């Protein structure tokens, strides 16, 4: 395909792409979701399956997604259209872009609600609500927040306004700078918390929980959750990374860049687990506490450490920022499409899309209180959205991307665009993308979805 230009601008360097992609990857998935689903699925063996999914499926698919984006240089929907035409492929492959857009809407709608919790906790921390906290009192504080739809709506609204505010300003302005300050700070505070958790009695138990592989705790559902999370945490399968790839400078090598992003993302998830589980075991909390795990363990830790109020406030603020740098990558693909194809200005595209997502999010926040009883297969609205997107739509999107790049596209075009330094690495990547990743995703999806 002839070389394309992005109408939305480019990252100023390869480093800024790494930073932006890492900002997208590192978010609530690492700090909030990973520890609680690892807890619910029994720890060790789940962590191992998750790591396997990252290496064998996530990284190869991420390379494919970035490559597609950089070839097309447009929103995922239009990139896929252009590539389908260029490669003479059947039209339905364009569906990758559309399904991704829908997944992005759904994910951001509940993501924003949870990000709202972290904003609420900034205020609670700063106000000293957790001074002298006990495991019962942190549970009660969290329960009170969830029982209050107005409060949840307020925080969800603030978070959506922030997200849309950034997306409507475009790629270069502000965003690149904000991420480059916030991500290192988040990392530092996590390390500080790691230092604290290493000093607790439960540290050994925490390590044991995360790294002792007891396969009796693994079943088809936990494997599908591990696979879904590998996609979720790397922001794969819906076009976010494709959209970011479209703004990547031409010369940069895709492989190395992706390894860096995936490595940082995994490191931060592991550290978050090593912070949270020791605190769980030291304080007699439940590892399988569910979505509230982060919000019940960390306030306890902060209430016990020197200058805990300050660090706690800062920590939840950074969680909210990490969520923000991820949220913008969920909105960007659709906003970019509306700008390209609907002739809308960025501001109005972002605003309309923001309003629709905000409305959807109300369903998720009500499922923690007024709508808690309305369930489907034992899952409330929030759980259904989470399961449907992370565990079905993202792996399916990733599968289609792997097959499209591995089998449908002309191999020469692909090789030219990925620009791997080593021919061996290219061969290995292509082999995994063609054979291992698609087969693994199909097996996991089929096993996980058909009730045994």
> Which residues make up the interface to ligand TRP (CB under 6 A)?
24-25, 27-30, 107, 232-233, 235, 238, 240, 326, 329-330, 394
CB atoms within 10 A of CB 149: 16
Q: Helix (H) and strand (E) counts for the chain?
A: 22, 0
Query: Cβ of 2: how many Cβ atoms within 10 Å?
Result: 4
Q: Where are the beta strands (DSSP E) in 245-388?
A: none
| Nearer of residues 266 and 329 to ligand TRP, judged by Cβ | 329
Closest C-alpha among 134, 75, 130 to residue 101: 75
Element (H, E) at 225: helix 220-233
Query: Whole-number minimum distance, CB 115 to ligand TRP, in Å?
Result: 9
Contact (CB, 8 A) for 100 and 76: yes
Report, in Å, the least distance between residue 217 CB and ligand TRP. Answer: 23
Name the residue nearer to ligand TRP (CB basis): 27 or 361.
27
The distance of closest approach from Cβ of residue 24 to ligand TRP in the complex, given in angstroms and rounded to an integer, is 5
Question: How far is residue 380's CA from residue 4's CA, in Å, rounded to a whole number?
Answer: 44
CB of 102 to ligand TRP, least distance (A): 12
User: From the CB of residue 290, how many other CB atoms can be counted at a distance below 10 Å?
Assistant: 12
Cβ-closest residue to ligand TRP?
29
- Two tokens, residue 300: 């306890």
Smallest separation, CB 104 to ligand TRP (Å): 7
Nearer to ligand TRP among residue 334 and residue 405 (C-beta) = 334
Cβ closer to ligand TRP: 232 or 381?
232
- Nearest Cα to 273, choosing from 185, 209, 338? 209
Q: How far is the CB of 235 from ligand TRP (least distance, A)?
A: 3
CB of 238 vs ligand TRP, minimal distance in Å: 4
CB nearer to ligand TRP: give 133 or 243.
243
- Closer of 285 and 390 to ligand TRP (Cβ): 390
If 0-12 CB within 10 Å is exposed, 13-18 middle and 19+ buried, where does residue 111 land? buried
Q: Which CB, 28 or 254, lies closer to ligand TRP?
A: 28
Q: 210 near 277, Cβ under 8 Å? A: yes
């Amino acid at each position: 395909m002839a070389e394309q230009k992005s109408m939305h601008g480019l990252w100023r360097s390869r480093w800024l792409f790494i930073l932006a992609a890492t900002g997208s990857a590192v978010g609530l998935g690492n700090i909030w979701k990973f520890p609680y689903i690892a807890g619910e699925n029994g720890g060790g063996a789940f962590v191992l399956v998750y790591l396997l999914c990252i290496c064998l499926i996530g990284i190869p698919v991420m390379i494919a997604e970035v490559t597609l984006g950089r070839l097309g240089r447009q929103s995922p929907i239009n990139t896929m259209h252009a590539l389908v035409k260029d490669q003479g492929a059947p039209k339905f492959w364009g569906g990758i872009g559309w399904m991704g857009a829908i997944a992005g809407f759904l994910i951001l709608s509940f993501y924003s609600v949870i990000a709202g919790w972290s904003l609420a906790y900034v205020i609670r921390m700063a106000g000293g609500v957790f001074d002298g906290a006990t495991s019962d009192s942190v549970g009660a504080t969290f329960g009170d927040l969830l029982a209050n739809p107005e409060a949840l709506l307020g925080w969800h609204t603030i978070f959506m306004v922030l997200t849309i505010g950034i997306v409507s300003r475009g790629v270069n302005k502000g965003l690149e700078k904000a991420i480059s300050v916030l991500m290192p700070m988040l990392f530092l505070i996590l390390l500080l918390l790691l230092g604290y958790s290493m000093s607790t009695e439960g540290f050994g138990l925490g390590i044991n929980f995360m790294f002792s592989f007891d396969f009796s705790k693994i079943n088809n559902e936990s494997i599908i959750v591990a696979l879904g999370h590998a996609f979720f945490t790397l922001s794969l399968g819906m076009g976010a990374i494709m959209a970011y790839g479209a703004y990547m400078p031409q010369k940069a090598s895709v492989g190395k860049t992706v390894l860096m992003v995936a490595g940082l993302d995994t490191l931060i998830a592991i550290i978050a687990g090593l912070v949270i589980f020791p605190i769980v075991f030291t304080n007699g909390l439940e590892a399988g506490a569910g979505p509230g795990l982060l919000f019940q363990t960390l306030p306890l830790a902060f209430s016990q450490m020197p200058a805990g109020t300050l660090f706690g406030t800062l920590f939840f603020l950074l969680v909210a920022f990490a969520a923000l740098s991820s949220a913008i990558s969920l909105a960007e693909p659709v906003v970019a499409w509306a700008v390209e194809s609907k002739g809308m200005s960025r501001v109005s595209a972002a605003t309309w899309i923001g309003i629709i997502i905000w409305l959807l999010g109300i369903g998720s926040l009500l499922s923690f209180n007024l709508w808690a009883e309305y369930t489907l297969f034992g899952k409330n609205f929030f759980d259904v959205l989470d399961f449907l997107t992370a565990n079905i739509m993202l792996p399916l999107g990733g599968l289609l991307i792997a097959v499209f790049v591995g089998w449908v596209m002309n191999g020469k075009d692909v090789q030219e665009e990925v620009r791997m330094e080593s021919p061996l690495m290219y061969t290995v990547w292509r082999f995994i993308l063609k054979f291992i990743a698609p087969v693994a995703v199909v097996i996991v999806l089929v096993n996980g979805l058909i009730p045994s």
